[in-house]
Amino acid sequence: MKNILVSSMLASTLLLSGCVTFPTSESNQVDVIWDDVKAIENCQRLGVVYGSEGHFYDYWFHADKDMVWGTLNQMRSKAAELGGDTIYLYQSLDFSSSVTMFANAYLCNSSPNKPVTNK
């Protein structure tokens, strides 16, 4: 009986844990900037975007770097949905069991063929 209970709890945890967010073709077009205010001088601010990966019950299944990468991919996707091509990261929040970040989304280059660069 104890083995069934432990197995059920483990299976439930694995089902609740999700994968990290992967980039899309649209999000790959969004630059990430965090330390260069001049890079957004002539940009149009579109709004705030956020991303979050990990939960208190599954964070030990994911490496920190994967959660950060997934969080950035979420924010890049949300910026692309707003029509943006750049996100400027706020100071990151401390985290221990999940990663949450906020950024401003900007439209800096209205050219549809903008080259992809990660700054």
* Fold of the 20-107 domain: Translation Initiation Factor IF3 (3.30.110)
Return the higher-pLDDT residue of 57 and 41.
Answer: 41
Phi/psi of residue 33, each to 5°? -130, 140
DSSP, res 8: H
The pLDDT of 45-55, averaged and rounded, is: 88
Q: Where are the alpha helices (DSSP H) in 31-91?
A: 64-81
Domain boundaries, the chain: 20-107
93 pLDDT above the threshold of 50: yes
Best CA proximity match to 72, nearest among 86, 56, 58, 61: 86
Mean of pLDDT over the chain: 75
Write down the pLDDT at residue 6.
45
Of the chain, the end-to-end C-alpha distance in Å amounts to 55
